[in-house]
Amino acid sequence: MPLFDLPLDQLRAYRPDRDEPADFDDFWSRTLAEARAFDAAPVYTPFDLPLPAVDVYDTSFAGWGGDRINGWFIAPRGAQGPLPIVVQYIGYSGGRGFPHDHLVWPSAGYAFMVVETRGQGGGSYSSPGATGDPHGGSSAQTAGMMTRGILDENEYYYRRVFTDAVRAIDVVATHPLVDPERIVVHGGSQGGGIAQAVAALHPAVKAALVDVPFLTHFRRAVEITDKDPYQELVRYLAGNRAAEERVFRTLSYFDGVNFAARGTAAALYSVALMDAVCPPSTVFAAYNHWQGPKEIAVYPWNEHEGGSGFHREQALRYLHKFFA
């Protein structure tokens, strides 16, 4: 993929006006209050696996509507705490996978929790999931998740997803191994978009690792990329020609740019300049609105894989310095 978006000097200054509904904060306050009316009821079941350096737990908790959300909780073997924790959210269509997929952060001395995205992971060969989504919304949709409930912000799929992700922070903050003053959210692509939102919605989050985030600056994304998952929105609009205003109003409640404008935690972003899945201008739109201390790692020659293992090393060094 060649360079296709704005030049880097223009990206660094790209800070578009935000399309934000007047009741954005009220909507999220009401949504989270409704979710917190349910007991999170976390369950940590020891998982027998020959990994002598870590303790592994098959975990679940109540997310939006009291629905059970699954994940893995992993900590250094025999740790007494309090430990910093990294809470990770997953890319589009992936599940929690296997415990041995998630050993980097525990090996660095962190507690770790990976949180499933409801309704995803069922078709993933490499990272299967175990969490369904019993709520489909009342409107028609295209294949995939992007248009599920798209005509009503109260029914939209990502209302449930973001709420599940916030509840995960409620849960880990009370775990006896976890230091509630050292909570980090992390994710790439869809997971990056979720982490970005959670860092803005939950005051306990102290740092966010936001890699090539999806779910950000929706209108520009659908106008300049021909890649899925954003193309799910394009296909829906192509077939529902009168729905544009309603669709983008719904999306404005979930746009990462609007969350970034409320983000005060420390943030390390990453962006790839040849990324046609999450175009670089959409990433910089959020980054340049972020209110807290921030850094961004730029990978000029990469597509959606971004910095991959190289950036994981950067993230490890970033958090080591941050918590030191």
Paired with 60 in beta bridges are 43, 70
- With H, G, I as helix, E, B as strand and everything else as coil, classify residue 171: helix
Active site residues per annotation: 189, 275, 304
| Rounded distance between C-alpha atoms, residue 71 and residue 97, angstroms | 9
Task: Kindly state the tokens that stand for 157.
Answer: 């799929």
Q: Which residues contact 34 (CB under 8 A, 6 or more apart)?
A: none
- Does a cis peptide bond (omega within 30 degrees of 0) precede residue 82? yes
- Separation in Å, CA 127 to CA 92, 98, 175: 11, 7, 26
* Site of tokens 């990978």: 299
CA dihedral 96, 99, 105, 111 (to 10 degrees): 90
Cβ atoms of residues 18 and 257 within 8 Å: yes
Count other C-beta atoms under 10 Å from residue 55's C-beta.
20
Task: Kindly state the tokens that stand for 213.
Answer: 């985030």
